Amino acid sequence: MDAVKKIVTNNLQKFGMIIALIGIIILFQILTGGSLLTPLNVTNIIMQNSYIIILAIGMMIIIITGEIDLSVGSVAAFVGAIAGVLIATMNMPVFLGVFLCLILGALIGAWQGFWVAYMKIPSFVVTLAGMLIFRGLTLVVMGGRTIAPFPNEFRGLSSAFLPEVFTGGELKLLTIIIGIAASLLYVTYEIRQRKIASFYSFKVPAFGLFVTKLVLLVLTLNAFTYVLAQYQGVPIVLIILIVLIISYTFVMNKTIIGRHIYAVGGNMKAAQLSGVRTKKMKFLAFVNMGFLAGLAGVVFTARLNAATPQAGQLFELDAIAAAVIGGASFTGGVGTIFGAVIGALVMGVLNNGMSLMGIGTDWQQAIKGLVLLGAVAFDVINKNKGNS
């Protein structure tokens, strides 16, 4: 009995937000009369929250280092405005314009990272100043006007789908095949990792739990791709998100840079004594955040098909909330990329579900605030239990 209780407790702490996300999805699926999980709405959830997921990944890394970035919404708006000038006004080739926008985002991150990492000015102050500076520069660049429309190639970043190579039938067969292939790759990877862990005598989950986890994840993945296949298939922006999630998960879990970032947030002095270049790690975290803020600005502008002065409002709060709900701790050193994605999806499903129910934005903000407070309280309670 104690063993079962221990397993439940450990998994609740590890998968608490995933369980919460599933619960929220089931709740809104019932309350909306089945509208939440329709193929069209699932696709909309992905597209509507793509830029928040991108920002949440960067914000998670910033918070892991023990810092904060309040400027990401303004940076995204500024980069979107520059994209409008370069691509829509000056007719610059889309690839070159997007590349320059991403470089601009990274340079902005480097500017802010310099003040935080090397001049030791608190990140709250630096990024609050950045929020004001780049919001003002956005208004200067836009001149109070909206820049539109954009070329089809640019809009495709946020609204296009993978082309269907198999004709005939209502289902997008390419999407089904992608789901099956992804399932096989995932199962192969998990089995390989388990064998490696067993070879080195590391602790591994019980075989029954391992198989159950694989079955549930494979069923979920294929159900998800089946739903997408009933509409237009796999969105291009979903491919971008998957590449980001896999890449950043690998960097944070399997590379020296990732371990050093965790070390900086976990214990700065210990990291310095261990030879970690703490200033460089914080600087790189802000460069990365600027790059991802630029990417989010490009994706958001492509979705709107317009660069507007009001873009990016409250993006920073959504990104911070997603990271915290996903398991980040403001004390630093804690958090995962997958957790940031789960947190962003929790916020996205809440927004979408409440909109489908006709709940006003005033109540939506209040409910999201309560969810954020509950997530932080859950984290604190779990830590207190662990310490005791």
Q: By percentage, how much of the chain surpasses pLDDT 70?
A: 93
DSSP percent split of the chain into helix, strand, coil, nearest 5: 75, 0, 20
DSSP 171: S
pLDDT tens sequence across 270-313? 999 889 999 999 999 999 999 999 999 999 999 999 999 888 88
Residues 172 and 62 in one domain: no
3-state per-residue secondary structure call for the chain: CHHHHHHHHHHHHHHHHHHHHHHHHHHHHHHCCCCCCCHHHHHHHHHHHHHHHHHHHHHHHHHHCCCCCCCHHHHHHHHHHHHHHHHHHCCCCHHHHHHHHHHHHHHHHHHHHHHHHHCCCCHHHHHHHHHHHHHHHHHHHHCCCCECCCCHHHHHHHHCECCCCCCCCCCCHHHHHHHHHHHHHHHHHHHHHHHHHHHCCCCCCCHHHHHHHHHHHHHHHHHHHHHHHCCCCCEHHHHHHHHHHHHHHHHHHHCHHHHHHHHHHHCHHHHHHCCCCHHHHHHHHHHHHHHHHHHHHHHHHHHHCCECCCCCCCHHHHHHHHHHHCCCCCCCCCCCHHHHHHHHHHHHHHHHHHHHCCCCHHHHHHHHHHHHHHHHHHHHHHHHHHHC
Has residue 133 got a pLDDT over 60?
yes
pLDDT tens sequence across 2-56? 554 555 555 555 577 788 888 889 999 999 998 999 999 999 999 999 999 999 9
Predicted local distance difference test score (pLDDT) of residue 105? 97
Residues 48 and 155 in one domain: yes
pLDDT tens sequence across 137-165? 999 998 888 888 899 999 998 989 998 88
**Looking at 197, 218, 234, which one is the last position of a domain?**
234
Name, in order, each residue with C-beta under 8 angstroms of 278's C-beta and a sequence gap of 6 or more: 264, 268, 271, 272
Total-model pTM: 0.92
Q: Is 103 exposed, middle or buried (0-12, 13-18, 19+ CB in 10 A)?
A: middle
Q: Is residue 5 part of a domain?
A: no
Angle 39-64/256-266 helices, nearest 10 degrees? 70
Record the tokens describing residue 130, joined without a space.
Answer: 């950045």
Predicted local distance difference test score (pLDDT) of residue 11? 55
**Looking at 199, 234, 269, which one is the last position of a domain?**
234
Residues 292 and 214 in one domain: no
Predicted local distance difference test score (pLDDT) of residue 207? 86
Residues 148 and 285 in one domain: yes
Domain span at residue 197 reads 161-234
Q: Do the beta carbons of residue 175 and residue 234 sit within 8 Å?
A: yes
Residues 141 and 171 in one domain: no
- pLDDT band for position 85 (cuts 50, 70, 90): very high
Predicted local distance difference test score (pLDDT) of residue 385? 65
Residues 70 and 177 in one domain: no
Q: Is residue 62 part of a domain?
A: yes
User: From CA 321, how far away is CA 339, in angstroms rounded?
Assistant: 12
Residues 140 and 218 in one domain: no
Predicted local distance difference test score (pLDDT) of residue 7? 52
User: From CA 348, how far away is CA 342, in angstroms rounded?
Assistant: 10
Domain count, the chain: 2
User: From CA 84, how far away is CA 156, in angstroms rounded?
Assistant: 15
Q: Is residue 150 part of a domain?
A: yes
Record the tokens describing residue 88, joined without a space.
Answer: 């829509």
Residues 370 and 322 in one domain: yes
Has residue 383 got a pLDDT over 80?
no
Residues 72 and 142 in one domain: yes
Closest CA to 264 of 65, 6, 12: 65
Closest CA to 81 of 57, 112, 50, 105: 105
Q: Is residue 87 part of a domain?
A: yes
Residues 148 and 181 in one domain: no
Q: Is residue 252 part of a domain?
A: no
Predicted local distance difference test score (pLDDT) of residue 203? 84
Predicted local distance difference test score (pLDDT) of residue 225? 94
- pLDDT band for position 314 (cuts 50, 70, 90): confident
Q: Count of CB atoms within 10 A of residue 330's CB? A: 15
Residues 188 and 287 in one domain: no
Predicted local distance difference test score (pLDDT) of residue 330? 83
Average pLDDT on 242-268 reads: 94
Candidate from 31-35, 199-203, 374-378 with smallest mean pLDDT = 374-378
Has residue 119 got a pLDDT over 90?
yes
Residues 198 and 306 in one domain: no
Q: Is residue 10 part of a domain?
A: no
Q: Is residue 116 part of a domain?
A: yes
